[in-house]
Every structure is written in C-alpha cells, then in structure tokens.
Copies of this chain bind each other. A is one copy, B any other.
Amino acid sequence: MITSSTDIEVRYAETDMMGIAHHASYLPWLEIARGNLLKERGISYAKLEESGIMLPVVEIKMNYRRPATYDDIVTINSVIKERPFAKIQIDYELQKEDQIIADGYSVHAFINQSGQPIKAPRIIKETLAKEFD
C-alpha cells in the first residue's frame, strides 16, 4: 500500500453561501494530494506531462460527511491499494480535527499526447512496485 498525507487550508474563495466549502472545491484538493503522493516518490506530475504522459480523471466519487469551512485545516490521506495497469485508483480520506469529514476515490487513465490510452508508464510502475512487494 502506498500512502501520503497532505494538509489543505480552506480558502475563502472556496466557501459558498451555505457558509461551508463548496463540494466542487474538494476536487482540486485531491489533485494536490495525489501530486504530493507522487512527488514524495520522486515522480513529478509536471515532468510526466512534459514527457507526453497524462493521467486524466475518468471517474470520481466523493462522500461529504461533515462540512469544512474557511480557515479549517483539512488533512487528506491518500492511498493506492492496487498496482496500476491500464488505470490507477487513489482513495482519499479527509479529516478535520481527527474526524473524517469526507472520503472518496479518483480513477485515472494513462494517455499519450494524441489522447490514446497507454499502459502505466515504466517510471510509475517501477516506483510504485517497490512498495507493493
């Protein structure tokens, strides 16, 4: 299992008139969390894209259990539970003061610059493989 933890501070611009972080604001947080998960293993998503490999989101699922609001610190725990082949799934658990406020997952395909699906690139497979053994 591959894990990572990222802290987010809820921005004022992310709140809505209900007084809480808007549900769409959570998706960019997850994006930061999985970027950090890769970065901690020496993989820069920015460089992956420069080399012509992209990981678009093909599926997303979120459960919103408790609200977050402006200035809250939200801790996002990300986990990769299975070796990636054609796709990669990342699971997320979001906590605020030790309470789970949301959870969910994202699934990503690997595509090249012409938008064609490709297999998981070697750098991802090899880097992650170490932690699955």
Q: Find out whether the CB atom of A27 lies under 8 angstroms from the CB atom of B28.
A: no
Q: Find out whether the CB atom of A22 lies under 8 angstroms from the CB atom of B13.
A: yes
Copies in the complex: 4
CA separation between A15 and B12, bound complex, in Å?
10
- CB within 8 A of A35: which of B12, B65, B69? B12
Report chain B residues within 8 Å CB of A35. Answer: 12, 71
Interface residue tally for chain A (C-beta within 8 Å): 40
Q: A16-B12, A16-B15, A45-B71 are in contact. Are A23 and B63 (CB under 8 A)?
A: no
Residue A49 is within 8 A (CB to CB) of chain B in the complex: yes
Q: How far is the CB of A114 from chain B (nearest CB, A)?
A: 12
Report chain B residues within 8 Å CB of A40. Answer: none
Which among A17, A32, A49, A58 has the greatest number of chain B C-beta atoms within 10 A? Answer: A17
Report chain B residues within 8 Å CB of A42. Answer: none
Report chain B residues within 8 Å CB of A79. Answer: none
Q: Find out whether the CB atom of A31 lies under 8 angstroms from the CB atom of B11.
A: yes
Closest Cβ neighbor of A18 among chain B residues: B54
- CB within 8 A of A46: which of B25, B46, B70? B70
Which among A16, A59, A63, A67 has the greatest number of chain B C-beta atoms within 10 A? Answer: A16
